[in-house]
Structure 1
Amino acid sequence: MANETSAPFAGGHWKIHVELPDQYPYKSPSIGFVNRIFHPNIDELSGSVCLDVINQTWSPMYDMINIFEVFLPQLLRYPNPSDPLNGEAAALMMREPKGYEAKVKEYVAKYASKEAVDEAGEDTESEGELSSAGSYESDGEEPAGAMDDV
């Protein structure tokens, strides 16, 4: 059963930019969404994820699978509008939940469809940065922490 908060993100595909600090795994990685997403804790233009959100849950025992299997699903399911990077998303979520959901769905359709991600990937593949880029797909159905391919 999907949590209502994650429902508007269901079916979205995002490319994720991950940067590992020198102190990793003792310091959390820097995570950013390459394609646009409308979320209170993610900067709409840069795609940066609020560091406080990552640091609150980060542990040196985690590895990259935790980012994709636990952290990102929880971020989508449980946004924290009281610690926003996107003030517009936070305000809309608190004042007009239906409007927030509609805008999230609009962004998913416009920027996070499989086709949009594939097009965005063509533009960013040649950057040549020392980083890890992965894909993340939200199905809105899995409980946080479920691991299918173990």
Structure 2
Amino acid sequence: MSSPKRRIETDVMKLLMSDYEVTLVDDNMQEFFVNFVGPKDSPYEGGLWRIHVELPDQYPYKSPSIGFQNKIFHPNIDEASGSVCLDVINQTWSPMFDMFNIFEEFIPQLLNYPNAADPLNGDASSLYLRDKKRYLEKVKAYVREFANPSDVRSHNFRRGGGFRMRGRDGKDGKDGDGGEEKEDGDRDGDDGEYDDDDDDDEEELSSLDGSINDDDDDDDEVAGTMDL
């Protein structure tokens, strides 16, 4: 077994034996999902995110690809795709790190200390620099709306206006366990209660967006996106 392959097996086994909930895609140790709990004493506390990880053949000499499957509001995470800024990963990554470090140190540090000067989400970056209080309020609103632990664990979480998961084939539309894509109104069990809460949260998000957009023209020079 080559050194990179051996290292991949060692690091993923360490993660599988930890307290993290890990789901391999087709028993492939180079592609899997990890349920990540928002860091304590942070605006992301109480949320749960399903994170998609892909390890390149050159791992650990090349950094892993990391993407949030359910929506999160953060300057260095693309809101539409959930991708984490590659520059942020590469600036921090070292072959000395392993996947356990990613979830114990890298992601918590990223969430707590965003780099607003090098954003993937220009709106989040602009708001973070302009009005920290309102930024934190919007982060928490996204946590309530998109990172409900029971919905994430049941693969019934929301991205944008509907449900979206990355399937085993890498395409959107099926969850990591092969389940079909779900649209609004197709939830089972006790999800009706969650639907009732959605209206309140959507009103809160709309209210935040409305008050934020009033100043958008003044902040065009602050907001921006980066080329990877």
TM score, norm. by length of structure 2: 0.52
Quick one: distance in 1 between partners of 2:169 and 2:101? 23
Deviations 1:89-130 (A, max 9, x none): 0000000111100100000000011133131399637x2147
Structure exhibiting the larger radius of gyration computed from Cα positions: 2
Count of residue pairs the alignment pairs up? 125
Matched, 1:33 2:33: no
Moved over 6 A (4+): none
Alignment of 1:1-150 (within 5 A): 7-118=42-153, 119-120=156-157, 124=165, 127-129=167-169
RMSD: 2.0
Quick one: distance in 1 between partners of 2:169 and 2:47? 25
In structure 2, the CA distance between the partners of 1:21 and 1:87, relative to structure 1 (3 Å rule), is: same
Q: Larger relative contact order (C-alpha < 8 A, sep ≥ 6)?
A: 1
Deviations 1:48-82 (A, max 9, x none): 00001101110111111011111110011110000
The worse-fitting range, judged by mean Cα deviation, of 116-125 and 41-50 is 116-125
